[in-house]
Chain A
Amino acid sequence: MALWTGFVFVLVVGLDLVVLASSRLRGAIRTVAFQGAVMSALPLLLASEHHQTVHVLALALGALVVKGVVIPGMMLWAMREAAIRRELEPIVGFVPSMVLGAVGVALAFTYSGSLPLPIHARHTLLVPSALSTVWTGLILVMTRRKAVAQVLGFLVVENGIFVFGLLLSDFMPFMVEAGVLLDLLAAIFVMGIVIFHINREFASLDTRRLTSLRD
């Protein structure tokens, strides 16, 4: 069991690097969807006797549906509607951003062991995986120009926070977890609508054009 869990964590971090390296939006969206689907197995793998079965099942299923199916589906739909096929144009090149991501991952794995966790971590890889994923998401939001890619970065940040939240899932109220997932869904929905309007208004999804407002 622990071996499988470790494998999932490594896969999650590996997918972070794949997203950083992927030059095609469609592929990046699929990668993030796969990451969401993979990590939705974590609540089940990490479940202990303190957990209520229904709670764990609902969390895993909710994450799978929202992160793995609905959100990527919405984003792919938005891309099809907006007829975007061009590749990502990062502000920071793919190789530097991958190096940046790898450095973050290395730091997270080296130093998270020395963090004074007040509770017993369910798995040694949980905290470093969560922190590296948050870091990857932040890099994506900062270094990409396309609106869709920025939303994707936001999604990766949320994935990282989700993994971190598993540390607390035995006492985190279900209402809060459900609220977080629903908020994420609504946020992506609203962003999708705005992207749709940006595309219509500017005939491009390049956020570089959003520079009229400045001081």
Chain B
Amino acid sequence: MLLLLLAPLAFAALAFAIPSGRIRPRVLLVGAVLHAAGVAALWVLRPGPALGGWLALDAAGLLTLSTVSAVFLASGVYVQGYLATHPERDNRVFVGSLLVLLSAMTGVSLAQNLGLLWVIIEITTLATAPLIYFKHDALSLEATWKYLMVCSLGIALALLGTFFLALASAGPGGPRTLLLSDLVAAGGTLSRPWVRIAFAFLLAGYGTKMGLAPFHTWKPDAYGEAPGVLGALLAAGVTNVAFLALVRVTTVCQAAGEGAFARGGLLGIGLLSILVAAVFMVGQRDFKRLLAYSSVEHMGILALGVGLGGAAAAGAFFHMVNNGLTKGVLFFAAGNIHRAFGSKQVDQVRGAARRLPISGPLFLLGFLAITGSPPFSPFFSEFAILSGAFHVGRPVVASVFLVLLALIFVTMGSTVLHIVQGDPGADEEPRQFHDRVLTAGPPLVLMLVVLALGLWVPDALTALFEAAASAVRG
């Protein structure tokens, strides 16, 4: 486990040291492949806790880590093609930061101490900032600044919340610790008012990092201006690990007898996020920003699933995997379309399916998958959350959820169809960019995985969803 954490850092150092901008992306690829192999080894070995219990592998962590690793591997391949189209940009910081980000996301998945968890999440923020600024223009600079300020402030609130939680554990007979297992074991001795205050701050703090409304303001800017590959990693990695952090906190609240309070907060903020996403998707003229609001929506769905508890919680973990993989497809395809047309404005992009025979249709399929069309896997996870809502006796929540999903399907659909269909028209200057193995392959493979998960979910995976959900279920 420790190796999985440190190897990407070593590769990052190597990437910083290598002078050649052509060889450097290969280091990233090797790092991504080794990381994926390491995660596969974790599935088989299931090692026990390390570093005195500060790092441990549990069901929720393994799911998050696997999603991160899969999307990062796809990104590692995609980046080879992406950086080849931009030989003029210095990629030293880009490649190095990506590897640091990989290490940090691994760390969050494994961290069992809430203090350590906070420290590593802050590292993900800092590692992402230079990645957003990769284009080095005024707009990406603005996006970077907003991302840094909003997320740093949010994260500062989360630190205060973490301290409140430590304070809650410091009462008479309390465990006086931030170690997750000790906090859960000593649940009853925690000071309940302080657990509530702590949860409120942590929800706002890590909710900012997840991009839940009303703390999502950084998201459209960052996703819109960052390279497509970073959009994929933000949507499938950084936001997912923040969700994992919230899950960890919810586990503690559950043990302290404040599970209903925590789930109520998650449910409310989840529904609000889906609503805000639906409203802002209407009339969105920039398709990368559209994807950002889709990410707000799906983070909302995750919070909603955990907030509902019961069968919906298992559905939420399934959805975390599905959303991560599908967002990979969408952002990779969107990046290709952006490059092929030189624009991400919906008005200027038409007939993507003709100009990009693979990425165009993939963008359409990715849209169908993310909005919950069978037979793709997000349909099944959203369905699990929906039926879970009926099971726990929340028909109103379920109905609102369903209406919002339908609304989002229509608004997102009209934009996506506009982009994909039609005649691209004659381009004045024929562009260099076409679908190639390195840029169209990764989204294609991810799409196939999403399809496969829709048709058949291995029993081992289902068991993991159940195990992860049992920790937060009421």
Query: What is the interface of chain A, defined by CB distance below 8 A to chain B?
Result: 116-119, 134, 138, 141, 147, 150, 154, 157-158, 161, 164-165, 167-168, 171-173, 175-176, 179-180, 182-183, 186-187, 190-191, 194, 197-198, 201-202, 207, 210-213, 215
Contacts and interface: CB of A to CB of B under 8 A. Distances in A.
Contacts of B171: 118-119
Contacts of B129: 190, 194
B141 interface: yes
B257 to A, nearest CB: 15
Contacts of A175: 115-116
B58 interface: no
B122 interface: yes
B163 A118 contact: no
A197 B194 contact: no
A183 B122 contact: yes
B141 A198 contact: yes
A167 B160 CA distance: 12
Nearest to A213: B221
Contacts of B113: 173, 176
A161 B156 contact: yes
B224 A171 contact: no
A147 B142 CA distance: 11
B119 A176 contact: yes
Interface-centre pick from A117, A164, A176 (highest chain B CB count, 10 A): A176
Given A141-B153, A168-B170, A173-B178, 10 more contacts: A118-B170, A158-B156, A172-B166, A173-B115, A183-B119, A186-B126, A190-B129, A197-B141, A210-B142, A215-B280
Given A175-B116, A176-B116, A116 B193 contact: yes
A117 B164 CA distance: 10
Contacts of B115: 172-173, 175-176, 179-180
Interface residues of B, number: 50
B149 interface: yes
Contact of A213 (B156, B178, B225): B225
Contacts of A141: 149, 153
A176 B139 contact: no
Contact of A164 (B152, B163, B225): B163
A82 to B, nearest CB: 14
Contacts of B156: 154, 157-158, 161
Interface string B364-392: 00000000000000000000000000000
Contacts of B345: none
Nearest to B156: A157
B398 interface: no
A212 B280 contact: no
A215 B191 CA distance: 43
Interface in B234-286: 280, 284
A152 to B, nearest CB: 12
Contacts of B166: 168, 171-172
B148 A164 contact: no
B188 interface: no
Contact of B148 (A180, A182, A183, A191): A191
13 contacts: A117-B167, A118-B168, A118-B171, A119-B170, A171-B170, A172-B115, A179-B119, A183-B119, A187-B126, A190-B126, A198-B141, A201-B138, A215-B289
Nearest to A160: B160
B176 A212 contact: no
A65 B156 CA distance: 20
Contact of A190 (B118, B148, B178, B193): B148
Contact of B145 (A158, A164, A173, A198): A198
A197 B139 CA distance: 12
Interface in B332-347: none
Interface string B140-158: 0111111011001100100
B60 to A, nearest CB: 21
B174 interface: yes
Contacts of B119: 176, 179-180, 182-183
B221 A194 contact: no
Contacts of B153: 138, 141, 154, 157
Given A194-B133, A194-B148, A212 B167 contact: no
Contact of B167 (A161, A167, A191, A194): A167
Contacts of A186: 123, 126
A168 B141 contact: no
Given A183-B122, A213-B224, A207 B145 contact: yes
A30 B138 CA distance: 30
Contacts of B221: 213
A180 B220 CA distance: 28
A213 B142 contact: yes
Contact of A165 (B116, B146, B163): B163
Contact of B130 (A161, A180, A190, A211): A190
A168 B167 contact: yes
A168 B125 CA distance: 26
B248 to A, nearest CB: 15
Nearest to B285: A215
A215 B145 contact: no
Contacts of B133: 194, 197
B301 interface: no
B470 interface: no
B434 to A, nearest CB: 30
Interface string B195-233: 000000000000000000000000011001100000000
